[in-house]
Amino acid sequence: MPANRIGYGTFTGQQLKIMQEVITLAVFAVFSVFWLGEALRWNYLATMGCLVAAVVLMFSPTPG
């Protein structure tokens, strides 16, 4: 998890985990396009959009 000991005071464990997943998948997407020569397809972009939505929901304040 990114900055586990430092970040846990600022972020929850769930927030750190979703940040780790998004960072890992973003880095791998760049690697697969530039090093492996894979093409970005629409479903990859849609998946990234879902990940961004998950981050927005995870970091939105809870009511109440």
Higher pLDDT, 36 or 7: 36
How many other CB atoms sit within 10 Å of the CB of residue 18?
Answer: 19
SS3 of 3-63: CHHHHCCCCCHHHHHHHHHHHHHHHHHHHHHHCCCCCCCHHHHHHHHHHHHHHHHHHCCCC
Average pLDDT value for residue range 57-61: 85
Per-residue pLDDT reduced to its tens digit, 9-34: 778 888 888 888 888 888 998 999 99
Q: Are 51 and 21 in contact (CB under 8 A)?
A: yes
Within a domain: residue 48?
yes
Within a domain: residue 9?
yes
What's the pLDDT score for residue 7?
Answer: 66
Answer whether residue 52 shows pLDDT above 90.
no
**pTM of the predicted structure, to 2 decimals:** 0.70
Within a domain: residue 15?
yes
Residue 30: give the domain boundaries: 4-55
Amino acid at the residue 43? N
Within a domain: residue 13?
yes
Within a domain: residue 25?
yes
The domain total for the chain is: 1
